[in-house]
Amino acid sequence: MRHRGVRAGLRRRDPWRIIIATTAAGGRNLHQGETTMTIEFRALSPSFATEVDGIDLSQPMTASDVKTLWNAIDRYAVLVFHDQRLSDIQLRDFAAAFGPLEIGRGALQGGKRRLALPQIGDISNLDEENRIRARDDRRRLDSLGNRLWHTDASYMPVPVVLGMLHAVAVPPASVLGGGETQFADMRAAYDALPETMKAEIDGLVVEHDIFWSRGQIGFTEFPPGEREKYPPSPQRLVRRHPGSQRKTLYLSAHASHVVGWPVAEGRLLLWDLTAHATQSQFIHSHRWQVGDLVIWDNRCTMHRGRPHDESQARDLRRATTLDTASTLEQAA
């Protein structure tokens, strides 16, 4: 096992870019051949997101590894690993250490699928034969909804916790962009709100609806029966993040309106809050390399995909862990 050392160019340029290495007693001290591995963290921005080194995600983890990573998720919300080459089975097994896994809308739609495992979401521009999808392909247009700021599956009554994307193929840089994924820190965005606004929104409940989010980009071609399968779900607008006990905004492109308010008024409030929460100081942009794996906490971040050259393959695989209760049952 090759030691994954500090990557060149990411040394301590900024005071917050501290390396926190777990000690042998507190974290991983796994002997793989001759090498002792230590999990290291290197913050990517002052408020959230960290790179993680010194762990091979294809290998089974100890309980202490999982705890070390959960602590980092609770602190940083976004974890970036490099140089991992996981099969779908390895990705599923790694993700399952963090909770029961979602079977997403894509896998439930039926029909021929490119990927064998239902727990692995196909976040690619490829069809069942690994060909680039046509510009007007229905599944491609549906997945363009990921270009809007969102948190995953907030339209489900019990939404999801962790998202994990693993890069198998990455498009080259282009004039349109390189297909980056951006993350926004909803705890920092909440903290930065005026106290009067915090008081105004504290108890609000928002209706989240996949048909609203897709409708915003003009996508309405859902397969028959899907509308009935995914009715809107109410979610708290302000949540308390369990692992950090910090308050967080729970926003998403799926968020349609405020329950009990005129639709227009709630929608305008959600737009204002989203504009606030996606300012550059709250964003980390991830430029993909093959072998990257990124974990994010959907409870306290939003994310979106960025455009790329659509003639080039972009193949990311996603695993997602489920929550246990509605946000309405979780006091803010």
- Smallest distance from the beta carbon of 270 to ligand OGA, in angstroms? 19
Q: Assess 297 for contact with Mn ion (CB under 5 A).
A: no
> Which residue number, 22 or 143, has a Cβ lying nearer to ligand OGA?
143
Q: Assess 317 for contact with ligand OGA (CB under 6 A).
A: no
- The answer to whether 208 and 235 have CB atoms below 8 angstroms apart is yes
Helix H segments across the chain? Answer: 63-76, 88-96, 105-108, 138-143, 186-191, 195-201, 210-216, 226-229, 263-277
> Which residue number, 54 or 106, has a Cβ lying nearer to Mn ion?
106
Half-sphere exposure of 23 (CA within 13 A, CB side): 2
- Smallest distance from the beta carbon of 138 to ligand OGA, in angstroms? 18
Residue 305 partner contact from ligand OGA, Mn ion, none using kind-dependent CB cut-offs of 5 to 8 Å: ligand OGA
The torsion angles phi and psi of 120, rounded to 5 degrees, stand at -105, 115
The torsion angles phi and psi of 197, rounded to 5 degrees, stand at -70, -40
Q: Assess 321 for contact with ligand OGA (CB under 6 A).
A: no
Q: Assess 181 for contact with ligand OGA (CB under 6 A).
A: yes
Among 152, 185, 207, 209, binds Mn ion (CB under 5 A): 152
Q: Assess 305 for contact with ligand OGA (CB under 6 A).
A: yes
Q: Residue 21: beta bridge partners?
A: 40
CB neighbour burial string for 219-244, b if at least 16 within 10 angstroms, e if fewer: beebeeeeeeebebbebbbbbbbeeb
Residue nearest to ligand OGA as judged by C-beta position: 305
Alpha carbon distance 257, 238 (integer Å): 14
Residue 318 partner contact from Mn ion, ligand OGA, none using kind-dependent CB cut-offs of 5 to 8 Å: ligand OGA
Contacts with ligand OGA by CB under 6 A: the residue count is 10
The residue ranges that bind ligand OGA (CB under 6 A) are 123, 146, 152, 163, 165, 181, 303, 305, 316, 318
